[in-house]
Amino acid sequence: MNSPVEVTSALNLPPLSLYVHLPWCVKKCPYCDFNSHALKGEIPAEEYIGALLADLENDLPLVWGRSVQSVFLGGGTPSLFSAGQIDRILAGVRSRLQLAPGAEVTLEANPGTVEHDSFAAYRDAGINRVSLGVQSFDDAALRRIGRIHGRNEVDKAIQSIGDAGLDNFNLDLMFGLPQQSLQDALRDLNQALGFGPAHLSHYQLTLEPNTVFAAQPPVLPGEDECWEMQQACAQVLDEAGFIQYEISAWALPGRQCAHNLNYWRFGDYLGIGAGAHGKVTLPATGVIRRLVKPRHPAAYLRSPKNANWYAETREIAGPERCFEFFLNQLRLRGGVDLDHFTPRTGLDWQAAQSAVQEAEHKGLLVRRGRKLMPTELGWRFINDTQALFLPRVD
């Protein structure tokens, strides 16, 4: 694929989201490769909140006049912060950015780490959506993957969510766990559905580099067994009225996660907090900029003192824009919106044409109106489909 020609006059502003990273957790899970850090002593909450808001102040000139469609507090385990502390974060955000009416504000939480406050208190702080990291309802399975909670804590956490009137909640559920059978996976899923979530993240346990499980891998179900679990669970979710709108995301109609949809549609987002990533479009100069904050909490907390907020800041070049656009939009079950390509990348369609034609020729993608849809083959081998859009060296 030849280097694409920039069409900077066609670059438009996409929707804008805000991600807030709260990096501490009680214990690092052996499969986790996120930027999370096991808590040693007390969280330096007040210092960290001050750094978050100073971080946001520093990024504001990049997004003057733009409203924020969604806020996501992720981690780590954000529910280790009290409702009062979450309230101070969100109040600081609202004083600096305009939140769109009805903006989705999500808090990630883990069962057993919501001792500070009930979910009613988090709701009063401004949270209107919760994502709960359940992973399994089987105590033995939870122990095998190093989780610190059990079924009893799960029940209490979901009860607290219901008592708070937060009907927009997600349950994270994993399959392909050590010693897990198809029947075990289906039992987990049916128990999750029994709690009436609006959204389910349903994904396979994988061994990621630089994790404990990568160094000391457990015995996992085979590839065919995991595929059978995935297909059987998909049928159950479909029959329950859930729609698969992303590789690992299922939702009742109208309950898709607005924040994650903005990522996958190649929208813009600010990221504040240790290791947070951002992507900002600047149409006046034809630039799309990638921002990365210092990864370790200790280094991040030094940023206000040394005025060095970025571990990395760079422009996303044309070929990389093309790849990232398809990398993200091909995660969506509804396919690629062709009307988004030029406004969100600033590239002419010819930048993607040869890769699209190759994907169509291989039976991985098919055009339906103004959509470019993965076929069943393309969906099963989505990584191979996405890889066709990698920048090529002539």
Q: What is the pLDDT of residues 31-52, one digit of tens each?
A: 998 889 998 889 999 999 999 9
pLDDT at 394: 58
* 3-class SS of residue 135: strand
Q: What is the pLDDT of residues 290-312, one digit of tens each?
A: 999 999 999 999 999 998 999 99
CA atoms of 336 and 201, how far apart (whole Å): 21
CA atoms of 148 and 112, how far apart (whole Å): 8
- The answer to whether residue 77 scores a pLDDT higher than 60 is yes
167 token code pair: 């009907």
- The answer to whether residue 90 scores a pLDDT higher than 60 is yes
Q: What is the DSSP letter of 156?
A: H
CA atoms of 207 and 145, how far apart (whole Å): 11
pTM of the model: 0.95
HSE-up of residue 96 (Cα within 13 Å, Cβ side): 20
- The answer to whether residue 113 scores a pLDDT higher than 90 is no
* 3-class SS of residue 332: strand
The vertex-246 CA angle with 134 and 178, nearest 5°, equals 40
- Across all residues in the chain, what is the average pLDDT? 94
Q: Is 41 exposed, middle or buried (0-12, 13-18, 19+ CB in 10 A)?
A: exposed
pLDDT at 40: 87
> Which segments of 195-281 does DSSP mark as H helices, in order?
212-215, 223-239, 258-264
pLDDT at 295: 96
Q: What is the pLDDT of residues 315-365, one digit of tens each?
A: 999 999 999 999 999 999 999 999 999 999 999 999 999 999 999 999 999
CB 196 within 8 A of CB 240: no
Identify the structural domains of the chain with CATH numbers, from first to last: 8-262 (3.80.30.20), 318-394 (1.10.10.10)
* 3-class SS of residue 74: strand
Q: What is the pLDDT of residues 225-235, one digit of tens each?
A: 999 999 999 99
CA atoms of 131 and 152, how far apart (whole Å): 18
Mean pLDDT of 137-145: 96
CA atoms of 201 and 171, how far apart (whole Å): 6
